[in-house]
Structure 1
Amino acid sequence: MPPMKRPLRLLLAASAAAAAPAVADDAVFAACLTELRGEAPSRGVNTAAFDTLTQGLAPDMAVVGFLDAQPEFTTAIWDYMAGLVDEERVADGQAMLRKWAEVLAAVEARYGVDAATVVAVWGVESNYGRNFGKRPLLQSLATLSCFGRRQPFFRGEFFTTLQILKLGHVAPDRLTGSWAGAFGHTQFMPSTFMRLAVDFDGDGRRDLVDSVPDALASTANFLADAGWQAGRPWGIEVRLPEGFDPAQAGRRKRRTLDEWQAAGLARADGSPLPGGEETAGLILPAGPAGPAFLTLKNFDALFGYNAAESYALAIAHLADRLRGAPAGFHTPWPTDDPGLSRAERREVQQLLIARGHDIGEPDGVLGARTRRAIADLQRQLGQEPDGRAGRRLLDWLRNPD
Structure 2
Amino acid sequence: MLRLATLALSLTLPMAAFAQCGGAFSEFKSGLKAEAVSMGIPPASADAFLSGVRQDASVLRADQAQGVFQKPFIDFSRHLISSQRLNKGQQLAGQYDSTFDRIETTYGVDRSVLLAFWAFETDYGAFQGDFNTANALATLAHDCRRPELFRPQVLAAMRLHADGQFDPRTTTGAWAGEIGMVQMLPQDIIENGVDADGNGRVDLKTSATDALHSGGKMLQHLGWQAGQPWLQEVTVPTTMDWAQSGLETVKSTAYWQALGVAARNDTLADLPASLILPQGHKGPAFLAYPNFNVYFEWNQSFTYVLTAAYFATRLGGAPIYDAGNPDTGLDSAQMKRLQHRLQDKGYDVGDIDGILGAGTRAAVKAEQQRLGLPADAWPTPALLNQI
Q: TM-score range by the shorter chain?
A: 0.7 to 0.9
1:309: which partner in 2? 302
2:95 to 99, 105, 109: 99
* Structure 1 residue runs without a partner (length 5+): 8-25, 338-401
How do 1:2-401 and structure 2 match up within 5 A? Answer: 5=5, 28-68=24-64, 71=67, 74-268=70-264, 274=268, 276=270, 278-326=271-319, 328-332=320-324, 334=326
Alpha-carbon shift at residue 122 of structure 1 (Å): 0.7
Q: Give the TM-score normalised by the residue count of structure 2.
A: 0.73
Alpha-carbon shift at residue 65 of structure 1 (Å): 3.6
Give the residue type in structure 2 aligned to 1:293.
F
CA distance 1:310–1:203, shift in 2 (3 Å)? same
Whole-angstrom CA distance in 2 between matches of 1:259 and 1:275: 12
CA contact (8 A) 2:45 2:161 kept: no
The answer to which of 226-235 and 76-85 deviates more is: 226-235
Q: Give the TM-score normalised by the residue count of structure 1.
A: 0.71
Indicate the SS of the match to 1:254.
Answer: coil
Deviation per CA, 1:167-202, whole angstroms, max 9, x where unpaired?
223444552112221111111122222222222122
CA contact (8 A) 2:235 2:262 kept: yes
* Structure 2 residue runs without a partner (length 5+): 8-21, 330-387
CA contact (8 A) 1:93 1:322 kept: yes
Deviation per CA, 1:34-57, whole angstroms, max 9, x where unpaired?
222222212342210011122232
Deviation per CA, 1:39-98, whole angstroms, max 9, x where unpaired?
221234221001112223222123234445584971121121012211011111122112
CA distance 1:63–1:89, shift in 2 (3 Å)? same
CA distance 1:27–1:91, shift in 2 (3 Å)? same
CA distance 1:307–1:150, shift in 2 (3 Å)? closer
Q: Equivalent pairs: percent with the same residue?
A: 34
Paired positions, count: 313
CA distance 1:178–1:250, shift in 2 (3 Å)? same
Deviation per CA, 1:277-335, whole angstroms, max 9, x where unpaired?
x2101111111111111111222223332123322322222223223333x21343637
Whole-angstrom CA distance in 2 between matches of 1:31 and 1:313: 42
Alpha-carbon shift at residue 259 of structure 1 (Å): 1.0
Whole-angstrom CA distance in 1 between matches of 2:129 and 2:301: 20
CA distance 1:241–1:46, shift in 2 (3 Å)? same
Indicate the SS of the match to 2:217.
Answer: helix
Indicate the SS of the match to 1:253.
Answer: coil
Give the residue type in structure 1 aligned to 2:133.
L
